[in-house]
């Protein structure tokens, strides 16, 4: 454990763009429309989405390492799946506002960590959360150094506050949780072998990326 205490304050403004994937543009796979025909979900008219973001926060170290970050981003021409047309589309302008908190420490061979993300993602001029984006995500993780150069790692993640539609009329029936356990052994030549087990509820079993 390192008792040296440090404190940093930071901020940044950035711009970025993300081009649509080839699958979103040209996926030719047909899906049945249950009326004797088929349709595709790709859209060759998609344009890149562009974002302007600002974030500020602070981090510190000592007996524990921690960080606190607040951010806000405006995304123009955001690419999303439009349930009205059952295809990918540029949905217009969206707002991303959030807070991220992380902390970790080390007690001998044991290294626990915790993180929490609060995310509000809405279309411009609306207060409704965009579909499939959880409002809350909480995770716990821990690693331990074992004899014979073995390392074990476990992680649990829980998310809540997501909706299946942009009107926020259909809330996901239950919060989503997932867990994983990983062990690895490192030899003297720095090569590694890894085994991994994961457990989650019935599909979809997904993580919580900020769109």
What pLDDT, in 10s, does the model give residues 128-159?
998 888 999 999 999 998 888 888 888 898 88
Burial class (CB in 10 A: 0-12, 13-18, 19+), 141: middle
Q: Where residue 126 falls among pLDDT bands split at 50, 70, 90?
A: confident
Average pLDDT over residues 59-66: 93
Q: Of 27-36, 65-74, 124-133, where does the model show the most confidence?
A: 65-74
Single pTM value for the model: 0.70
Q: Where residue 183 falls among pLDDT bands split at 50, 70, 90?
A: low
């Amino acid at each position: 454990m390192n008792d040296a205490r440090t404190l940093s304050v930071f901020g940044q403004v950035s711009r970025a763009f993300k081009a649509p994937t080839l699958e979103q543009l040209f996926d030719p796979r047909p899906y049945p429309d249950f009326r004797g025909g088929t349709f595709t979900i790709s859209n060759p008219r998609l344009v890149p989405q562009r974002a302007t973001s600002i974030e500020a926060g602070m981090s510190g170290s000592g007996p524990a390492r921690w960080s606190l970050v607040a951010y806000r981003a405006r995304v123009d021409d955001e690419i999303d799946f439009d349930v009205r047309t059952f295809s990918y589309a540029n949905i217009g302008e969206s707002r991303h506002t959030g807070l991220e908190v992380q902390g970790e420490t080390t007690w001998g061979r044991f290294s626990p960590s915790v993180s929490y993300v609060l995310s509000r993602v809405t279309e411009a001029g609306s207060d409704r959360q965009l579909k499939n984006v959880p409002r809350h995500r909480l995770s716990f993780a821990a690693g331990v150094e074992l004899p014979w150069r073995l390392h074990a790692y476990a992680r649990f993640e829980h998310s809540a506050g997501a909706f299946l539609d942009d009107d926020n009329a259909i809330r996901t029936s239950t919060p989503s949780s997932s867990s994983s356990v990983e062990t690895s052994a490192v030899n003297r030549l720095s090569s590694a072998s890894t085994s991994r087990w994961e457990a989650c509820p019935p599909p979809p079993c997904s993580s919580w990326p900020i769109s």
